[in-house]
Amino acid sequence: MRATLIHGTRDIRLAEVPDPTVHLPGDAVVRVVASCVCGSDLWPYRGVRPATEPRRIGHEFVGIVEEVGAEVRTVAPGDFVIAPFAISDNTCRHCRHGITTSCENGAWWGQPDRHGVMVDGGQGERVRVPLADGTLVATPEQPDPALVPSLLTLSDVMGTGHHAAVSAGVRAGSTVVVVGDGAVGLCAVLAARRLGAERIVAMSRHAARQELARAFGATDIVAERGAEGVSAVKELLGGIGADAVLECVGTKESMAQALDSTRPGGYVGYVGVPAGGPELPIDKMFGGNINVAGGVAPVRTYLPELLGDVLSGAIDPGRVFDLELPLDEVAEAYAAMDERRAIKVLLRP
Amino acid sequence: MRATLIHGTRDIRLAEVPDPTVHLPGDAVVRVVASCVCGSDLWPYRGVRPATEPRRIGHEFVGIVEEVGAEVRTVAPGDFVIAPFAISDNTCRHCRHGITTSCENGAWWGQPDRHGVMVDGGQGERVRVPLADGTLVATPEQPDPALVPSLLTLSDVMGTGHHAAVSAGVRAGSTVVVVGDGAVGLCAVLAARRLGAERIVAMSRHAARQELARAFGATDIVAERGAEGVSAVKELLGGIGADAVLECVGTKESMAQALDSTRPGGYVGYVGVPAGGPELPIDKMFGGNINVAGGVAPVRTYLPELLGDVLSGAIDPGRVFDLELPLDEVAEAYAAMDERRAIKVLLRP
């Protein structure tokens, strides 16, 4: 079968690899129906976190179960399943607290597991799924193909945007600012609307992304950044910052933007992968009671709840995919996202 | 009248100063019944944040209203009142969100107000109280003198310990670790018990403080620090960290202790004044979903609720005062706290 490997900076190749098989009794093998490229895949792509040797990549996919190990109970061959971006048993102490990304037996796609066995990446034709019972969530029946993009966002970006909103305590009536207009930021807008936010300010300088933000529920757009952006936000929100600021980028500048846009006593909910920092300025946080919550999103925990809303049509996060390519063109998919020609690219094997 | 001034490092003097008067129509003049020395007063005392010229000091006091300005409505001469450590109008946008320490018209004891007028310190015989309606809370009647120490803790340490617990989301059944065995840490133990915590681990190496922590509700004591302390905490809490860790010191070491003692998805509630840092390590926070909430405690907001529990005898935070001195001996009060001979010193004018 074919799967995507990253060889080095801006070097993405599709290669022939052995077909996956059930290796452990808790494994499943899934035939991929759709996968995609993540903003965090761009870190190794851009050399910010360089790949030192060719390795499998991709951590978002949906597909059909082809085979399961002897111990698998919750999914069966033929099921349509969603794979979260982290592998978890969903039974350990951290999973029971809902933090499946800290699973005591967990693993990550494209990286060695606890036993040193490499786990497949998601950007391929088939994937071996360890801890299939804990990791995968099956839809009640075969979904309408039109729903596949939205289901695919539950692998990562929709659950991640939701985590930002939940971590920041967004509730009915909240004032919200979203920093970042990538797929996660746009999903954070949708998540904030879903949780009942009254005002949602999306910070974006790109017309197409502004439009999608409005479609997802943004009530206001701020194109300015830095001090001007903070002033514009405060002007919209009665002279003070927001109750909740959702930081969906992960740079020093975006975190500063978020902290400065939060009212005293408010929360920054952050999910942008911190690219080697920044450290957080505790003096500023302390003086204003600016709280910082979030981290790597335990999307598995949120999947059942969000799945219901996708299947009912209440939310349509799949609109973040503005480009669809065959897996053959995975290198172009990375380039399109790297150059910001696409918000998010869906890949069909 | 006499009031305390700090002249420089380890140089505290009682001096004759003019009697305060009603200066603005919202002012009150309060005759101090009891005041005290705060852990944060030790920063300038020790020269960490040096005083550049002699200035009034002290920000915790209770007393009797002697005189009020024409606009004061909620307190009257003869009332017994508690003064929070921050002056606030209790009506501005931030106060309405409960963050009275960010009051748009607020001020701090012993520092110039927004108009450049110096505000009195609390360690004196009388104090001019700006924004008296917003700042002061009167007891329903003259309190039993035995309650004065507990009422005095509502100026700062009890409300601050409570803020740590509230910020960290302590609720019925929570597992809690308290870092710091000063008056704030001990009050944080009491606050955690009051909020229903199931396990409360107090980190302390001092027998007298351990004993008071147990009296306040600590179920366990850990004397170790650093990695050994983290191991001991995890051993007590089923192998993982605590739901809520209350950081009541403000040093780099204490914050590291707190972050490392928190389970994935848990909260550090911090109220220790950060002494020039540290910055927070976002990579560690991100990976484990360790949330950090808190800051300078808006004790005015909590005062009515905690006052009820002090008056009913449900809590007795005044036990943190293990030394009482006449105001004459204020220099000795600072020395006793600096040398950790006393947890907290109460001063009687």
Class of residue A110 by CB neighbours under 10 A (exposed 0-12, middle 13-18, buried 19+): buried
Residue A69 has pLDDT above 90, yes or no: yes
Average pLDDT of the residues in B340-344: 94
Q: Taking CB atoms and an 8 Å limit, are B282 and A280 in contact across chains?
A: yes
At A272 the pLDDT is 87
B101 touches chain A (CB under 8 A): yes
Strand A345-348 and strand A323-326: pairing? Answer: parallel
Average pLDDT of the residues in A324-343: 96
Nearest residue, CB atoms, B240 vs list A93, A238, A255: A93
Confidence of residue B48 (pLDDT cuts 50, 70, 90): confident
Q: Which residues of A touch B277 (CB under 8 A)?
A: 282-283
Nearest residue, CB atoms, A265 vs list B97, B263, B285: B97
B280 touches chain A (CB under 8 A): yes
Q: How many CB pairs under 8 A join A and B?
A: 126
Please identify which residue in the block is written with the tokens 């799945």: A307
Which token pair is A67? 């085979």
Confidence of residue A140 (pLDDT cuts 50, 70, 90): very high
As a whole number of angstroms, the distance between CA A282 and CA B153 comes to 26
Confidence of residue B160 (pLDDT cuts 50, 70, 90): very high
Average pLDDT of the residues in B327-349: 96
Average pLDDT of the residues in A44-51: 84
At A51 the pLDDT is 73
Asked if B294 and A291 touch (Cβ cutoff 8 Å), the reply is yes
Confidence of residue A46 (pLDDT cuts 50, 70, 90): very high
At A279 the pLDDT is 87
Q: Give the ranges where A176-221 is alpha helix by DSSP (H).
A: 183-194, 207-216
Distances (CA, A) of A225 to A141, A202, A263, A278, B158: 45, 12, 17, 18, 40
B111 touches chain A (CB under 8 A): no
Sequential DSSP letters for A7-72: EETTEEEEEE-PPP---STT-EEEEEEEEE--GGGHHHHHTSS--SS-EE----EEEEEEEE-TT-
Which token pair is B148? 């004065």
At B297 the pLDDT is 98
pLDDT tens readout for residues B278-290: 789 998 999 999 9
At B122 the pLDDT is 97
DSSP state of B42: H
DSSP state of A6: E
B262 touches chain A (CB under 8 A): no
Which token pair is B168? 């960290």
Asked if A210 and A202 touch (Cβ cutoff 8 Å), the reply is yes
**Which value does ipTM take for this structure?**
0.94
Phi then psi for B203, rounded to 5 degrees? -95, 115
Q: Taking CB atoms and an 8 Å limit, are B289 and A294 in contact across chains?
A: yes
Residue A276 has pLDDT above 70, yes or no: no
* pLDDT: which is higher, A80 or A278: A80
At B277 the pLDDT is 65
Tally of CB atoms within 10 A around A25: 11
Residue B316 has pLDDT above 90, yes or no: yes
CB proximity list for B265: less than 8 A, separation 6 or greater: A94, A97, A98, A99, A102, A298, B288, B289, B291
Residue B157 has pLDDT above 90, yes or no: yes
Q: Which of B99, B104, B282 to mutate to test the interface with A (most CBs of A within 10 A)?
A: B282
Residues across chain B: 349
Asked if B174 and B244 touch (Cβ cutoff 8 Å), the reply is yes
Q: For chain A, give the mean pLDDT.
A: 96
Closest CA to B75 of B116, B31, B43: B31
pLDDT tens readout for residues B177-204: 999 999 999 999 999 999 999 999 999 9
Q: Where are the domains of chain A?
A: 2-156+298-348, 157-294
DSSP state of B313: T
**CATH code for the domain defined by A157-294:** 3.40.50.720
B293 touches chain A (CB under 8 A): yes
Print the SS3 string covering A253-298. HHHHHHHHCEEEEEEEEECCCCCCCCCECHHHHHHHCCEEEECCCC
Q: Which of A91-100, A132-141, B41-50 bottoms out in mean pLDDT, i.e. has the lowest?
A: B41-50
CA A248 to chain centre: 10
Residues of A (142-171) whose Cβ lies below 8 Å from B? 167
Class of residue A68 by CB neighbours under 10 A (exposed 0-12, middle 13-18, buried 19+): buried
As a whole number of angstroms, the distance between CA B301 and CA A44 comes to 48
pLDDT tens readout for residues A215-243: 999 999 999 999 999 999 999 999 999 99
As a whole number of angstroms, the distance between CA A78 and CA B28 comes to 77
Average pLDDT of the residues in B212-219: 98
**CATH code for the domain defined by A2-156+298-348:** 3.90.180.10
Q: For chain B, give the mean pLDDT.
A: 96
Q: Which residues of B touch A286 (CB under 8 A)?
A: 270, 273-274, 294-296
pLDDT tens readout for residues A160-203: 999 999 999 999 999 999 999 999 999 999 999 999 999 999 99
Residues of B (15-74) whose Cβ lies below 8 Å from A? none
Residue A333 has pLDDT above 70, yes or no: yes
Average pLDDT of the residues in A148-159: 98
DSSP state of A125: S
Residue A55 has pLDDT above 80, yes or no: yes
Asked if A221 and A211 touch (Cβ cutoff 8 Å), the reply is no
